[in-house]
Structure 1
Amino acid sequence: MARILAVDDDQAILTLLGRILVKDGHDLTALDNPARVESLDLGRFDLVLLDVMMPGMDGFELCRRIRERVDAPIVFLTAKSAEEDAVYGLGLGADDYVRKPFGAAELRAKVAAHLRRERRERKCALSFGDVRLDVAARRAFAGEQEVLLTKTEFEVCEFLARHPGQVFSRAQIREAVLGWDAECDEATISVHVANARAKWRDVGAEVIETVWGVGYKWTA
């Protein structure tokens, strides 16, 4: 059982989420008002589902406000079809997105994939000079300065760092990090890599290299 927070101004969507997720044994907190989210104990949730198009405060703004308080994957529920909207959401710290309308099987697969990732056992640290990934705590450092990566950005870095110097395609990274059944496209991986690389550069570290026409490799 997982504790899931869903925020959507459409009560019909919340009802649908309840039928699917509660039936699967999850503890669902469903809110139709995004303004109520910031008063919650966000650290207790295992997964957060956010609608994008909401009055007053949209999902993008809500994600920006709560990302540092949420130690769980954030997945957007979006009716927007433009790729730049999904890219923008990932840039704010979201981990994934599901396009509306979605079916029960699709939602279950997406939720299950993220929860599996959260429950994987992690026991070690990866060090490369001043660059360090604390795998157990999911924290990244350049010297004494912490690099604030999202969960997916960290897992992309972790995967590459476990195979330093080896080049992986976007498809290989997607399968290793998100699972073979992930429904996001390979462009999503490019966004996560770009975001992670920018954060490392902000602290003076170059850790991921693009191998044009092939993919990416860890070079720290």
Structure 2
Amino acid sequence: MANILAVDDDGDLRALIAETLGRDGHFVRTLDSGSRIGEVHCRWADLILLDLLMPGEDGPAACRRIRAMTDAPILFLTALNGEADVLEALGSGGDDYLTKPFRIAELRARVAAHLRRQRRPVSHRLVRGGVAFDLAAGTAEVEGRPVGLTRGEYALCRVLALHAGQTFGKERLYEEAFGFEREADSSAVTEHIKNIRAKFRAAGCEPVETVWGVGYRWKP
């Protein structure tokens, strides 16, 4: 049972989300605009569903504004799945995205997976490839300097670093990081990896390697 905030300008979709997730025992609040999300909503929500395209303040703008107020997973709902759109969504601080129209079963599974990951206890420290992970705090640093990873980026790095030297295909990496199997559309992993590489490169470190035609691995 969790508190879920659904923000979308489509009233029928908001009602469907509220009814569907309500049946799973969750408390669902809905808003019709990103600009209406306030600190009280951020404190309340355990997970946020956020439409990418809305009049006024769109999803990425709202995500950037509220990210400092909440550590809750943010899942974008989008009718667009082009590379630039996915990059904007994930780069603004989102953890994942669902492409409209989506199956209700996929929405339920994805929400459940992110909530499980949110509650997963960890309690140790790991150093791999020049990167130090505080697995309890969910942070990473290079030579004592924090690297500002989003939750989704951190989840992928954590899986790769825990299995340094092992190659993961995109689908398996997504499943291991987020707890939900998705055979199609690996754009989320691709864009997260781009962001991860850029952030570590800026910190003077390049721990993620591409194994062409196979996937990604973390330098031991």
With structure 2 as the length reference, what TM-score do the two structures score? 0.90
Task: Name the residue aligned to 1:54.
Answer: 54
For residues 79 and 217 of structure 2, the distance between their equivalents in structure 1, rounded to whole angstroms, comes to 34
Task: Name the residue aligned to 1:84.
Answer: 84
Task: Name the residue aligned to 1:121.
Answer: 121
Task: Name the residue aligned to 1:13.
Answer: 13
Task: Name the residue aligned to 2:38.
Answer: 38
Q: Does residue 73 of the first structure (1) align with residue 73 of the second (2)? A: yes
Q: CA deviation at 1:30?
A: 1.1
SS in 2 for 1:140: strand
> For residues 110-142 of structure 1, what are the alpha-carbon distances to aligned partners after superposition, in whole Å with 9 as ceiling and x for unaligned?
111211221222121112475211111101111
- Going from structure 1 to structure 2, the CA distance change for 1:176 and 1:86 (only over 3 Å counts) comes to same
For residues 24 and 15 of structure 1, the distance between their equivalents in structure 2, rounded to whole angstroms, comes to 15
- Going from structure 1 to structure 2, the CA distance change for 1:200 and 1:69 (only over 3 Å counts) comes to farther
Task: Name the residue aligned to 2:205.
Answer: 205
> For residues 135-165 of structure 1, what are the alpha-carbon distances to aligned partners after superposition, in whole Å with 9 as ceiling and x for unaligned?
1110111122111111111111111111222
For residues 213 and 100 of structure 1, the distance between their equivalents in structure 2, rounded to whole angstroms, comes to 28
Task: Name the residue aligned to 2:171.
Answer: 171
Q: CA deviation at 1:19?
A: 0.8
Q: Does residue 63 of the first structure (1) align with residue 63 of the second (2)? A: yes
- Going from structure 1 to structure 2, the CA distance change for 1:94 and 1:104 (only over 3 Å counts) comes to same
Q: In percent, how many aligned pairs have the same letter? A: 47
For residues 180 and 46 of structure 1, the distance between their equivalents in structure 2, rounded to whole angstroms, comes to 18
8 Å Cα contact 1:110/1:182 also seen in 2: no
Task: Name the residue aligned to 1:107.
Answer: 107
Segments of 5+ residues of structure 2 without an aligned counterpart are none
> For residues 13-40 of structure 1, what are the alpha-carbon distances to aligned partners after superposition, in whole Å with 9 as ceiling and x for unaligned?
2211111112211122211132221343
SS in 1 for 2:18: helix
For residues 113 and 207 of structure 1, the distance between their equivalents in structure 2, rounded to whole angstroms, comes to 27
For residues 176 and 99 of structure 2, the distance between their equivalents in structure 1, rounded to whole angstroms, comes to 22
- Going from structure 1 to structure 2, the CA distance change for 1:34 and 1:175 (only over 3 Å counts) comes to closer
With structure 1 as the length reference, what TM-score do the two structures score? 0.90
For residues 147 and 92 of structure 1, the distance between their equivalents in structure 2, rounded to whole angstroms, comes to 15
8 Å Cα contact 2:49/2:76 also seen in 1: yes
Segments of 5+ residues of structure 1 without an aligned counterpart are none
For residues 188 and 58 of structure 1, the distance between their equivalents in structure 2, rounded to whole angstroms, comes to 19
Q: CA deviation at 1:103?
A: 3.5
What is the aligned length?
A: 220
SS in 2 for 1:40: helix
Q: CA deviation at 1:167?
A: 2.1
8 Å Cα contact 2:59/2:76 also seen in 1: yes
